Amino acid sequence: MKNSVPLSFSSPGAPYTVTFEAAALSKMVSDCVRAGTHETGGILIGKYSSDGSVALISEITSHPKDSISSSVTFQRGTIGLRELLAARWDEGFHYVGEWHYHPGGSPEPSGPDMHTMRSIATNSKYSCREPILIILGGRPPREVKLSATVFPANRPSVRLNPFSYS
């Protein structure tokens, strides 16, 4: 992606805004192009505003080596993530959620996607009570479709709409 402007997601009445730094989005698109017809994904790393209403995604990871992937499923592995997150924590960054790719498809979360994210929201090991799920669909780099959904613990998920800076 050649656009160097961040992409943000928000919705009227929703107490959340997610802003995606251009470099992180570009890496995500590149990872999806490399994956071809297989799903891929990783974690989202970023910071929150002081009131917690804005998440800035500054980094995404590629799939860990122990991930399981096919044309219709992705199960993110864990190899190397603990060490990476410890290093980022020291820099003031945190785990803020997950991302994955639906090759040639819709960026809508599937039933298993929703279940996984609800589990993460209530799992104290993640220390993330409102994880974000970004799904990239379409056929990158020509066609890129994105969705962003926030999963507050023990509350309904909140779908956010993309908007661009002018």
Tens digits of residue pLDDT in 47-86: 999 998 999 999 999 999 999 999 999 999 999 999 999 9
Q: Write down the catalytic residue from 21, 39, 98, 130.
A: 39
Residue 7 within any structural domain of the chain: no
Under the banding of pLDDT at 50, 70 and 90, the label for residue 5 is: confident
Whether residue 39 lies in the annotated active site: yes
DSSP string of the chain, one letter each residue: ----S-EEEE-TT-S-EEEE-HHHHHHHHHHHHHHTTS--EEEEEEEE-TTS-EEEEEEEPPPPTT-EE-SS-EE---TTHHHHHHHHHHTT-EEEEEEEEEETS--PPPHHHHHHHHHHHH-TTT--SS-EEEEEEEETTTEEEEEEEE--TTS--EEEEEEE--
* pLDDT for 163: 66
| Number of structural domains the chain divides into | 1
Residue 166 within any structural domain of the chain: no
29 pLDDT more than 60: yes
Residue 136 within any structural domain of the chain: yes
Residue 25 within any structural domain of the chain: yes
128 pLDDT more than 60: yes
3 pLDDT more than 90: no
